[in-house]
Amino acid sequence: MRASVENDNGFRLEGRNPVLEALRSGKSMDKIMIAKDAHGAAIGEIIKKAHERGIIVRHVEKAYLDKISEAGQHQGVIAQTVPYEYKEIDDILEIAANRNEKPFLLILDSITDPHNFGAILRTAECAGVHGVVIPKRRAVGITSSVVKASVGALEYIAIAKVSNIPTTIDDLKEKGLWVIGADPSGTVYTCQDFSVPLAIVIGGEDKGISRLIREKCDFIAGIPLKGKIDSLNASVAAALLLYEVVRQRT
């Protein structure tokens, strides 16, 4: 996947898979620019879906796409879209209610690597997470690298950006959710009860979850480490915990 680059007119979405998934999800677009020498099944489907929705398609020189691309991996396609619309916590809880499911949220504490964030979003969408919560400061937002790493998942999962994670945790607990933080020192995650309405907290790449957020958690879930490395990649830790929820709930 590729890009969501914010500019005065919205976002540029780059790459064949991201643009195609955005078209499939019904995302609003102003226009799609395709390199004159671009071809293949994905390009054909992009053009077909764009015409069906009345979206302008412009065939341009690849050099022009290279010039406006953020990372130079546009694969011959860049779309001009509206800015990403963040959701509210209540919107996420409503998604769970509409599915008649117990709330299943993921809270990210200071994830700064866009590739980790994108990979986590992809896993979260596949695992049926109702929404992801991120802080407004000291964390990565929606960027081109995040969109690329999520491989289309960004178009299907709700993300809320909040000013204060600890306060948000308090609010979620008042609404009946249990909050479980991920930390190597916690009780082995397979011994935890993930069948309840819950929010899982994954910490940043360097320091894990902060002390204050850790204190707000109802439980701490640990992943056994048998090697010499003292922690897992944040996206890997998230995947293990999210799919433990899936296992227990199914």
Q: What is the dihedral of CA 237, 242, 246, 247, to 10 degrees?
A: 20
Last residue of a domain, one of 81, 109, 141: 81
| C-beta of residue 18 within 8 angstroms of C-beta of residue 147 | yes
d(CA 193, CA 57): 50
- List the pLDDT tens digit at each of the 250 positions of the chain: 334 444 434 578 888 988 898 898 888 888 999 999 999 999 999 999 999 988 999 999 999 999 988 767 789 999 988 777 889 999 999 999 999 999 999 999 989 888 899 999 999 999 999 999 999 888 888 876 787 778 778 888 999 999 999 999 999 999 999 999 999 889 999 999 999 999 999 998 778 899 999 999 999 999 998 888 877 889 999 999 999 999 999 9
- Among the candidates 53, 81, 109, a domain finishes at 81
Gap between the Cα atoms of 137 and 141, Å rounded = 9
HSE (side-chain half, CA atoms, 13 Å) at 164:
7
Domains held by the chain: number: 2
116 in the same domain as 27: no
Asked whether the beta carbons of 166 and 181 are under 8 A apart, the reply is no
Are residues 36 and 68 both part of a single domain?
yes
Judgement on whether residues 64 and 110 belong to the same structural domain of the protein: no
The verdict on pTM exceeding 0.85 is: no
